[in-house]
Amino acid sequence: MKYKLLTKKEPEKKLLLRLKSRGGRGYLGRITVRHRGGGVKKLYRIVDFGQERQGTAKVVALEYDPYRTAFIMLLEYEDGYKRYQLAPHGIKIGDEVVCKDAAEIKLGNRLKLKNIPVGTLVYNVELAPGKGGQMVKAAGTSAKVLAHEGKYTSLEMPSGEVRKVLFECFVSVGQVSHPEKRFERIRKAGLSRLKGRRPTVRGTAMTPADHPHGGGEGRTPIGLKYPKTPWGKHALGVKTRKRKWTDKYIIKRRK
């Protein structure tokens, strides 16, 4: 699915929200996240990641969402109720999508893990029943159902990690739309600025007071035993995941 396949219509007004842009600044007004700011104004689309409305709905539009890498689809239920959901790769306008505990294994349908056969690709995965999808929501991603054992289902994540998920959780069948996103290039700096990304300066180009890599004459090497962040912490080869109670659900770590 590419941009030319998207519906040429205005977004649904009742499903729009304006979020305040903070430009990477915290509540004190200081920069807490670097390289953010500016960009064009955009409206947030209220996407249903869970299963607020169960039943059959028809895909009436495929739209671009400025807040995410994937495309979204506008669903219209039999009673006229409309909702945005993540669009799977290959969905078309006019297709019907079903959300039930048990439904046909069809592209875009949303059902419980226990009713999905082994080998099926899924996305928008719940971690706790009724909480809504929390994993596998980026463009082109999908998880693979490996096995059902007890009250858990083993899923192979896009990272290669194998994790147990309660089989009462809902998932959507298919792969997230816009898999071509990974091949897209930002052709010029102006496009990056329009998306709200400010320029990134190399640490070696700074002074020693501004960055651990700074100082020296000309293009000097780092000059340290190991790469560091601007705050002096280890930058490469450091495990970022702390010990969590959910570690017991991980069968195999990502590569």
- Residue 1: pLDDT over 60: no
- Give the residue with greater pLDDT, 106 vs 4: 106
Compute the half-sphere exposure of residue 105: CA atoms within 13 Å on the CB side of its CA.
Answer: 11
Q: In which region does residue 193 sit, left (phi positive, over 0), alpha (psi from -120 to 50) or beta (all else)? A: alpha
Instruction: Say if CB 61 and CB 73 are below 8 A apart.
Output: yes
CATH architecture of 3-180: Roll (2.30)
Percent of the chain with pLDDT over 70: 100
pLDDT in tens, 70-128: 999 999 999 999 999 999 999 999 999 999 999 999 999 999 999 999 999 999 999 99
- Residue 180: pLDDT over 90: yes
What is the predicted pLDDT for the residue at 190?
A: 96
Task: Find out if CATH 4.10.950.10 is the number for domain 204-255.
Answer: yes
Instruction: Say if CB 241 and CB 161 are below 8 A apart.
Output: no
Strand ranges, E, within the chain: 16-17, 44-45, 55-63, 72-77, 82-86, 96-99, 110-112, 121-123, 125-126, 133-135, 143-149, 152-156, 162-166, 170-173, 250-252
Domain with CATH 4.10.950.10 in the chain: 204-255
Domain with CATH 2.30.30.30 in the chain: 3-180
